[in-house]
Structure 1
Amino acid sequence: MEYNFREIEKRWQRYWKKHNVFHAKENKKRKYYILNMFPYPSGTGLHVGHCLGYIASDVYARYKLAKGYNVLNPIGFDSFGLPAEQYAIQTGKHPCDTIIENSRRYKEQMNKIGLSFNWNREVYTSNPNYYHWTQWMFIQIFNSWYDKNSEQAKPINLLIEEFNKKGNNFINASTTSNYKFNSTTWKQLNSYEKESILLDYRLAFLCKNTVNWCPNLGTVLANDEIKNGKSERGGYPVYKKKMLQWHIRISAYAERLIKGFNLIDCSQSLKRLQCNWIGKSIGTSILLKIIYPISGFHKIELFTFYPEMMFGMTFIILSTDHPLADKISIFSLHHKNVLTYLNKEFSVDVNSKNISGIFTGNYVLHPFIKDKKIPIYISNFFTINNTTKSIIGIPGHEEKSKKFAQKFNIEIVKVLDFNEKCINSNFLNGLNRQQAKEKIIKILINNKIGEIKISYKIRDSIFSRQRYWGEPIPIYFKNKIPKTIPIDKLPIILPKIDNFHPKNGKSPLVRAKNWAWDEQNMKIVPNFLIDHKYVFPIETNTMPCWAGSSWYFLRYMDVHNNRFFLEKEKENYWKNVDLYIGGSEHSTGHLIYARFWHKFLFDRGWVTTDEPFKKILNQGMILSYSAIILKVIGENIFMSYGLKNKKHTYSSFQEIYVDLSLIKKNNELDIYRFKKCRPEFYSSVFILERGVFICKRKLEKMSKSKYNVINPDDIYEKYGSDIFRMYEMFLGPINKSKPWDEKKINGIKNFINKFWSLFYKNKIFQVSEINPTLQEFQILHDTIKKIENKMESFSWNSSISLLMIMTNKLTALKCNKRKILEPLVQLIAPFAPHISEELWYKLGKKKSIIFYNLPVFNKKYIVKKEITYPIMFNGKLKFLEKFDSSTSIENIKNKILNHPKTKLFLKEKTLNKFILIPKKIINILLK
């Protein structure tokens, strides 16, 4: 009987759905929570690169189920945000409709692969039942502040109580400054003044800041949404622009975000990425006198890593969002020009060579050179440190400072000679850099104008988005003071509007007709009723997509709860995510946001763990050959790739990706079909080489934007889901990138057919009840032991290799014995669940294979293998020693060093180095 995968796979997919096989419930079993990073449902569906992580998590989820765990393996969709909105704009449909269509397509594809997702816990971030709690959490963040003494978030009411007790000298709590406000008592302040002070403490706060603005997308972008100065989505130019925005004070958690990684099992590269993103560093904070003081501000704080360079300081720069940027020139004729500069847009292109800046008309006094005035500039040319948003210009020794100084004709002073000895700095002359640094720091501290300070690169996250498709921010404005919508009136539902395109930097919600809050009747009313007495405007910006994706893993634990986002009993049972699988592209932004959000909920007592994830596994990428053609820049001309370096009149080209379906043999472009697919190039001229048009092929990440994706539908329609699943797992280590090559899938196909044939003789299902031979038992139990080790180390490709070896050995022995084949079916089930379920049923089992525990190896059938090591001293063989192959390197080393012969040699000489090449030699170097 042939293996009919189409019939078998449909049958078992229906069975799993009908019997709710993968619906987890809290019970007395050991729990295991496995999770894929949140997908958003794009219009084109899944490609085989997406499937890699889903299949890997499914293999492990099925393995853990078979090990007796209660496994939670949920799925949902990150359905709010820019991708969904842009797709809706492109298709002319409403996001509500496209999300339903796209997610239905995803679910269909996922189910055809046989993924064991717990669909009864499915969530959508755009569902009001879900974003009800996202809005609730935002209100809690808004009504909290970060107590640096206890290092945790606390209710803002506790801070107000402290203000009422102390009465005066409120210190700004933000990470950008630490200036005193005034000596007025809290009770003497009006509501607006109080809120202005509280906004400097709240974890969610409004302030005017420099943002990444994309005019083409009509919205603010986060740093991780920008690549090389352009938007990741669409490749549009991005500019720096000052806008009034909501922020989340994530910088308050910087140190805890770094320390928390010690609790997470993940790769060192991921830890480095996270730490670099947060960017902890130690430098010197210096307070310099402002020559023309501003009311309440007589000094300005500067941060430097090079205090020994102070004598080379010839200017300072403030960022455009420094707290004093719009005030520092207030007594200067330059004030009007400074304000104009602050409102300009600047490109964020990292390759931009434009140097911009403006003199404020104000100065600070040099701390060591009497009466020397240092000019203050404002500029976007530098990446400003987040702690102080200011830098010291030392053009004599720093390249960017030098370029800025040359642009504005500022003095350039050298303070170090060729040997890095101090010059031109009186009491530092002749000291080396380290000596100078120590001396300067000591003077600064003694004079109380400086201190050692820790700095973090991470900035407070901008939380406003000028787009429609996002969670409404539950805030209304009463006399310009932000007020939260009452919790019992949540959620405030995103209104359905026809025109949801962003325009002029304003959210489409400004066009909503019913978007005002009636404070007396506690409900949303039409905008024309706004009187600023009883009815007030509601915030029109929406939340970023990371708001909903920062806590979704908690909602999976208690998805049907309408009373609260998560009951204590369920959180106590599931707790952390045990295994979090996703691509490395989520290794910075998403993980930072999710960990911050979780830590906040922990601080306020709503969850019991400080970190959300126990282990994070980043799968590698699936690579595919893309096709690229050359277009002459500024001309409607395309040139065959082989002519690029030949002599011709064209000098500059742009590369354009084309769909793989348009490529003929020998990398030739089908020009007719290309023009048909891309009508904007219909009249273009194509310069051929030897009568054909050749494109460049490049092996790179599989991506829709590169048109090099492979549709999984085509693969499992041709080969079946089990073969597709096993092929993806067999490509290589899960954390490594690997090229897609459909030609090699036949090896897996042959293996599955050989495995199927073990159960059939003359096309009839036949399994023998005869007891296996010793050799057959040894093959089985050796494989069980090895696979368990490989599975626990997430080495799925090696596990499949072991299954292949076992199948080949059993085929050679013509073994069809039940006591061997039944365990083999269980071993292969996590990888190829459909064929395993079919054979399990044919073996007479009444329940799904999922409900049977994996076989355990028996030690008596494990053949001990010995390895003989030649023991050498300084390269000369002295004796031989045998070890069991399972002996650890540490145990081998201890035994050899304590060997009588080794001790004899060590009497005369001293051990210098112990070299062990596994399974080969041991060489002990003596001196």
Structure 2
Amino acid sequence: MSDPLYPFDDIEKTVQNRWKSDKAFSTRADRTKPKYYCLEMFPYPSGRIHMGHVRNYSIGDAIARYKRMRGYNVLHPMGWDAFGLPAENAAILRGIHPAEWTESNIAHMKEQLQRLGLSYDWDREVATCSPSYYRWNQWFFLKLLEKGLAYRKEALLNWCDSCATVLANEQVEDGRCWRCGSQVILRTMNQWFLRITDYARDLMAGLSSLEGWPERVRTMQANWISPSTGAEITFEVDPLSLDERAAPLRLKVFTTRADTLFGVTFVTIAPEHPEMDLLLEGSPQEKQARNFIEETLRKRTKENREEPEKEGVFTGRMVRHPLTGEKIPLWIGNFVVASYGTGVVMGVPAHDQRDFEFARKYGLPIKKVIAPNGEIQGGADQAMTEDGTLFASERFDGMASETARREITKELESRKLGQPRETFRLRDWGISRQRYWGTPIPVIHCPHCGIVPVPEEDLPVLLPRDVHFSGKGGSPLGDHPSFSSVPCPACKETARRETDTMDTFIDSSWYFLRFAGGAPEGAAPFVPEDLSYWLPVDQYIGGVEHAILHLLYSRFFTRVLYDLGLSPVQEPFSTLLTQGMVLKDGAKMSKSKGNVVDPDHLIAQYGADTVRLFTLFSAPPDKDLSWDDKAVEGAYRFLGRLYGRVNALLEEFPQANNDSPGKELTSEATALRSKIHETIVRVTTDLDSHAQLNTAIAALMELLNALGSYQALSGEPDAVRGPLLREGYLTLLTLLSPFAPHIAHHLGERLGIDRIDALNWPVADPKALVKETVSFVLQVNGKLRTTVTLSPGSSQDEVEREARKDEKVLRALEGQTVIKRIFVPGKLLNLVVRPSS
């Protein structure tokens, strides 16, 4: 590399050492000052930061630095989402313990972030794999268990027989195990769940208060929660024998269209429904049905995002219509999922398109019971799904759909065969993971006492370090005798500790609380007084890929803790910014695409300030950023010019002074001072919006050009020139410091300012914003002909009179008649002309 345009390496190291020695970014709750909590989503310690990290953290750092200069007490923390599957994969592939791999990665990534000069309060750093952190995961779990919000039930999981282990969805590749390539099956196992559905209504209602969130994120969450109002209807399964002593088997169906109940011609049940064994036992269709179930569940393990072809098989069982008593066939359908709704749907092919296609495929009856506009119509090639008027529906004939839904539900309720119900697409949160590198679930399974919570005084349940990773046989915790075999806390008999660990979304669902009010070890998860000061997070920044699960789980956790008296707020994040991706060659950067740009290499070549400035300038924060090598060099040259011009100023005026420019300013000096204070207004406005960081930097580049042009002028009096240039460069550096803090700090020192980022944010001088003259554009038929300099309040006639002194204007008007004048005060006059007759 050629000699650098300025000594960024020495500058950045020196400035960072100064910040460190000053503890410049340490924070405490100071109720005498307004607070501002700025937070970027913390990273998984994969080993290296990428350009997406750089962009995310540069956005947050610019906002945090700006708010400090505006007088806010700013909390800007960082930590590590440190549990998770990649560490176990590394343990298997590299023969290194997950803890060692994680700790090494954290150390390296922390060094990279510090090299960027990010203004984090590292005193508040957390790593979720630390026992001092995950003990509180366990403590929260016990509180949820006590409140009835944590429970255990059977659920389907991906299972590899060869490896004898459960696989996460991301470990299943085209229906096969990522390790050994064996076919993956779905197996029913006991799992721990959190009742997030108990909060579905509150989570849905709370979205309306999140005015600082992008509309598309709120819509995504609303669609995920997806409330539906309807009826739960009971269909009784017809017995296979005459044994009247057997308790009848009842299947519940949820529907939003109770008005179509008399059009039901079949009922479909999910292949994995918990009552399936009872339904199929003794059925003449048992063998065919079980083969269909096995094949359907096998196909579900494949990563196929497309809607599968609708397939089904008859169970050999019939169910009874709850109002007519008619026998209706019970089918198994691959499109029904046990975890959604009740896992059973009523088939109304005349009035539901999916049911229509299924009925056509298998020759099932299609019975119309709703007439559009009250007119009964003949056959059709598709379902009629709109509301209408009922017919062939006994005493409900002639009712409008809306009325019939209400009246049919009342009739079902009177017979104890149905009831009104609101349901949600949202499912309970399954938190069990059959892995080692996660928070141990703090319960003990006793053969005498059942499930026994670990006493709080025994927390944390520590992960043992002496485990072996083979990639076979599931989590090594099950094979660790001193971990898995323990005395029951209640009866003291030998019992088995839970060997599942928690979903890592638990870790990230409350880390912002720990940052805000982290308590001394062993005392509490956080200090309530500090939470009441810092919460909610004022600005949260992260990728839109976390728009649903992470944000939804964080909102759920905050509401639960609010109900437990542990959180002062119900919503954790006031304002959300979802930054765009960093693209190269039209695609997201990834190793597999070979289009990754290494931040370390860029910092070594251009400096941290250049890398930060480029990522902030090249696109609005919420839009995708397309990589451009020339734009990186452009940001670098801008900083190099700034460095050179400040040094030139100091050579010309070596004595720093704070004198104001003389009262008698030349027109050039007046214009420059106006530009300086206009820039203050522009940058302040853009930073306040948070979505216009790029245009704020553009304004600074314009100001540097204006300062350079004035600096090159000769004949300006020194009494004006020196103070005005100093004011201009000092303003530029102050406004630049949130974006490129190192060079701003260094050049600020050269101009006599000890810590430029400790200055108050500049305020524009109203007098400097009042322009004595402005440039009017003169157009003829919309084409620029000249500009004239006049007072801002000049009239249309004055502008035209002055413009007609210009030869280009006179030539354009020769032989023409002005038929219209378009005048914009202070800006433009357009003369609309046509040839004279």
Bin for the TM-score computed over the shorter chain: 0.7 to 0.9
- CA 1:362–1:64: 2 relative to 1, 3 Å: same
Query: Where do 1:394-409 residues align within 5 Å?
Result: 394-402=348-356, 404-405=358-359
- CA 1:487–1:582: 2 relative to 1, 3 Å: same
- Residue matched to 2:560: 600
- Residue matched to 1:247: 193
SS of match in other structure, 1:283: strand
Percent identity over the alignment? 33
- Residue matched to 1:655: none
SS of match in other structure, 1:605: coil
- Residue matched to 2:386: none
Query: Where do 1:427-446 residues align within 5 Å?
Result: 427=392, 435-436=400-401, 438-446=403-411
Query: Where do 1:72-151 residues align within 5 Å?
Result: 72-144=75-147
| Residue number among 54, 59, 62 corresponding to 1:56 in the alignment | 59
- CA 1:70–1:421: 2 relative to 1, 3 Å: same
- Mapped to 2, the partners of 1:736 and 1:309 lie a distance apart of 46
Could you tell me which amino acid in structure 1 is paired with residue 26 of structure 2?
H
- Residue matched to 1:13: 16
- CA 1:80–1:402: 2 relative to 1, 3 Å: same
- CA 1:600–1:450: 2 relative to 1, 3 Å: same
Could you tell me which amino acid in structure 2 is paired with residue 11 of structure 1?
T
- Residue matched to 1:305: 256
| Residue number among 345, 354, 358 corresponding to 1:391 in the alignment | 345
- Residue matched to 1:830: 738
Could you tell me which amino acid in structure 1 is paired with residue 565 of structure 2?
G
Q: Are 2:610 and 2:639, in contact at CA under 8 Å, matched by a contact in 1?
A: yes
Give the TM-score of the pair, scaled to structure 1: 0.72
| Residue number among 604, 608, 614 corresponding to 1:721 in the alignment | 608
- Mapped to 1, the partners of 2:188 and 2:560 lie a distance apart of 28
Range with bigger deviation, 708-717 or 334-343: 334-343
Would you say 1:500 and 2:500 are equivalent positions?
no
Q: Are 1:623 and 1:702, in contact at CA under 8 Å, matched by a contact in 2?
A: yes
1:483: Cα distance to partner?
Answer: 1.0
1:583: Cα distance to partner?
Answer: 0.4
Range with bigger deviation, 309-318 or 825-834: 309-318
Give the TM-score of the pair, scaled to structure 2: 0.80
- Mapped to 2, the partners of 1:761 and 1:395 lie a distance apart of 82
Would you say 1:803 and 2:700 are equivalent positions?
yes
1:362: Cα distance to partner?
Answer: 3.4
- CA 1:117–1:762: 2 relative to 1, 3 Å: closer
1:546: Cα distance to partner?
Answer: 0.6
- Residue matched to 2:319: 364
- Residue matched to 2:715: none
- CA 1:336–1:140: 2 relative to 1, 3 Å: farther
- Mapped to 1, the partners of 2:746 and 2:653 lie a distance apart of 14
Could you tell me which amino acid in structure 2 is paired with residue 813 of structure 1?
Y
Would you say 1:41 and 2:45 are equivalent positions?
yes
1:720: Cα distance to partner?
Answer: 1.1
Would you say 1:849 and 2:756 are equivalent positions?
yes
| Residue number among 441, 444, 454 corresponding to 1:485 in the alignment | 454
Would you say 1:475 and 2:443 are equivalent positions?
yes
Aligned Cα root-mean-square deviation (Å): 3.7
- Mapped to 2, the partners of 1:233 and 1:21 lie a distance apart of 48
1:825: Cα distance to partner?
Answer: 1.3
- Mapped to 2, the partners of 1:74 and 1:231 lie a distance apart of 39
- Mapped to 2, the partners of 1:435 and 1:600 lie a distance apart of 42
- CA 1:258–1:866: 2 relative to 1, 3 Å: farther
Unpaired runs of 5+ residues, structure 1, are 145-201, 523-531, 626-698, 869-883, 886-915, 922-927
- Mapped to 1, the partners of 2:167 and 2:256 lie a distance apart of 31
Would you say 1:205 and 2:144 are equivalent positions?
no
Q: Deviations over 1:218-270 (max 9, x none)?
A: 54547x99999899999998764422111111111111111112222111001
Query: Where do 1:153-192 residues align within 5 Å?
Result: none
- CA 1:557–1:706: 2 relative to 1, 3 Å: same
- Mapped to 1, the partners of 2:235 and 2:377 lie a distance apart of 23
- Residue matched to 2:268: 317
- CA 1:822–1:353: 2 relative to 1, 3 Å: closer
Could you tell me which amino acid in structure 2 is paired with residue 249 of structure 1?
R
Q: Deviations over 1:70-125 (max 9, x none)?
A: 11111111110113322333333111111011112211211111111111111111
- CA 1:486–1:339: 2 relative to 1, 3 Å: farther
- Residue matched to 1:747: 634
| Residue number among 711, 731, 739 corresponding to 2:598 in the alignment | 711
- Mapped to 2, the partners of 1:433 and 1:219 lie a distance apart of 55
- CA 1:90–1:827: 2 relative to 1, 3 Å: same
Would you say 1:860 and 2:767 are equivalent positions?
yes
Query: Where do 1:729-808 residues align within 5 Å?
Result: 729-761=616-648, 764=651, 766=653, 769=657, 771-772=660-661, 773=665, 774-794=670-690, 795-808=692-705
| Residue number among 531, 547, 572 corresponding to 1:587 in the alignment | 547
- Mapped to 2, the partners of 1:799 and 1:243 lie a distance apart of 55
- Mapped to 2, the partners of 1:391 and 1:120 lie a distance apart of 55
- Mapped to 1, the partners of 2:184 and 2:621 lie a distance apart of 35
1:8: Cα distance to partner?
Answer: 0.5
- Mapped to 1, the partners of 2:770 and 2:340 lie a distance apart of 61
- CA 1:771–1:866: 2 relative to 1, 3 Å: closer
| Residue number among 557, 579, 582 corresponding to 1:622 in the alignment | 582
Q: Are 2:391 and 2:398, in contact at CA under 8 Å, matched by a contact in 1?
A: no
| Residue number among 259, 262, 273 corresponding to 2:208 in the alignment | 262
1:138: Cα distance to partner?
Answer: 0.7
Between structure 1 and structure 2, the one with the greater Rg is 2
1:442: Cα distance to partner?
Answer: 1.5
Q: Are 2:37 and 2:76, in contact at CA under 8 Å, matched by a contact in 1?
A: yes
Q: Are 1:476 and 1:484, in contact at CA under 8 Å, matched by a contact in 2?
A: yes
SS of match in other structure, 2:502: coil
1:402: Cα distance to partner?
Answer: 4.7
SS of match in other structure, 1:256: helix
Could you tell me which amino acid in structure 2 is paired with residue 713 of structure 1?
D
Could you tell me which amino acid in structure 1 is paired with residue 299 of structure 2?
S
Q: Are 1:502 and 1:508, in contact at CA under 8 Å, matched by a contact in 2?
A: no
- Residue matched to 2:815: none
Would you say 1:609 and 2:569 are equivalent positions?
yes
Could you tell me which amino acid in structure 2 is paired with residue 771 of structure 1?
S
- Mapped to 1, the partners of 2:374 and 2:61 lie a distance apart of 59
1:347: Cα distance to partner?
Answer: 2.8
1:849: Cα distance to partner?
Answer: 2.3
- Residue matched to 1:24: 27
1:320: Cα distance to partner?
Answer: 4.6
- Mapped to 2, the partners of 1:809 and 1:776 lie a distance apart of 7
Would you say 1:347 and 2:294 are equivalent positions?
no
- Residue matched to 2:219: 272
- Mapped to 1, the partners of 2:396 and 2:609 lie a distance apart of 71
1:311: Cα distance to partner?
Answer: 3.6
1:435: Cα distance to partner?
Answer: 2.4
Q: Deviations over 1:818-851 (max 9, x none)?
A: 33322221111001100011012112233x2232
- Mapped to 1, the partners of 2:678 and 2:62 lie a distance apart of 21
- CA 1:245–1:312: 2 relative to 1, 3 Å: same
1:464: Cα distance to partner?
Answer: 0.6
Q: Are 1:364 and 1:375, in contact at CA under 8 Å, matched by a contact in 2?
A: yes
SS of match in other structure, 1:823: helix
Q: Are 1:826 and 1:836, in contact at CA under 8 Å, matched by a contact in 2?
A: yes
1:48: Cα distance to partner?
Answer: 1.2
Range with bigger deviation, 770-779 or 723-732: 770-779
Q: Are 1:325 and 1:378, in contact at CA under 8 Å, matched by a contact in 2?
A: no
- Mapped to 1, the partners of 2:482 and 2:699 lie a distance apart of 64
